[in-house]
């Protein structure tokens, strides 16, 4: 990254201040990145676990597949999904607090006996599916934040900090060369004055 600067002490102080800010912020940003990486992995693992649980629960009721054709799916409806928001490493993520269902009234005597169990199964599957979706969203949000944080770490580490260090080095060399030239010029002037004084 080409940093625009002037060869003077004011520019040098400004660049040193910018460098100091970035060097000081880098460990914090790295910690945030590693925390996000851990949280993304946790969310991924939880999505896999819930996926497996959903598959196992569906397989468990595979033997009743023929009966599901008789089941009235309009009996169970998701009424409300309660959620809250939790900050993880500065990223707001959704947290599932609970799922409320509406159970339509039906006659236990006119419907098959297993309908009550069927309602329980449908509620269980819906809860697992909703929770899985929450963890999916959490994973997406955290992964996006992790990618942005990784980019910032790389920008600081590989571009900005080396760029500022290089600019500071160039300014210091320029100022040292300027000072050396000034001293040399003063010595030359002084030696010429001394030579004139000797001649006179």
pLDDT of residue 7: 87
Q: Structure pTM?
A: 0.75
Give 8's DSSP letter: S
Does 158 map to a domain?
A: yes
Output 17-21 pairs: Cβ under 8 A, ≥24 positions apart: 18/164, 19/161, 19/164, 19/165, 19/168
Percent of the chain residues past pLDDT 90, beyond the cut = 53
Q: Is the pLDDT of residue 67 over 70?
A: no
Q: Is residue 41 in a domain? A: yes
In a domain, 200, yes or no: no
* Domain harbouring 19, CATH code: 1.10.287.3240
Question: Is residue 118, in this structure, part of any structural domain at all?
Answer: yes
pLDDT band with cut points at 50, 70 and 90 for residue 116: confident
Higher pLDDT, 56 or 3: 56
What mean pLDDT, rounded, does the chain reach? 88
Residue 156 pLDDT: 93
* Total count of domains within the chain: 1
């Amino acid at each position: 990254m080409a940093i625009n600067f002037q060869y003077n002490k004011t520019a040098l102080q400004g660049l040193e201040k910018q460098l100091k800010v970035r060097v000081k912020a880098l460990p914090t940003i790295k910690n945030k990145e590693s925390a996000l990486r851990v949280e993304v992995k946790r969310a991924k693992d939880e999505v896999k676990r819930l996926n497996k649980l959903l598959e196992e629960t569906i397989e468990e009721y595979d033997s009743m597949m023929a009966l599901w054709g008789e089941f009235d799916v309009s009996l169970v409806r998701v009424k409300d999904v309660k959620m809250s928001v939790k900050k993880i490493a500065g990223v707001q993520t959704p947290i599932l607090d609970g799922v409320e269902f509406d159970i339509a009234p039906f006659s236990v005597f006119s419907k098959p006996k297993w309908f009550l169990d069927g309602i329980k199964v449908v509620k269980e599957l819906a809860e697992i599916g909703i929770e899985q979706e929450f963890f999916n969203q959490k994973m997406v949000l955290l992964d996006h934040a992790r990618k942005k944080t990784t980019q910032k770490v790389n920008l600081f580490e590989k571009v900005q900090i080396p760029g500022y260090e290089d600019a500071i080095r160039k300014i210091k060399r320029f100022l040292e060369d300027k000072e050396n030239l000034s001293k040399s010029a003063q010595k030359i002037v002084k030696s010429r004055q001394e030579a004139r004084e000797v001649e006179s």
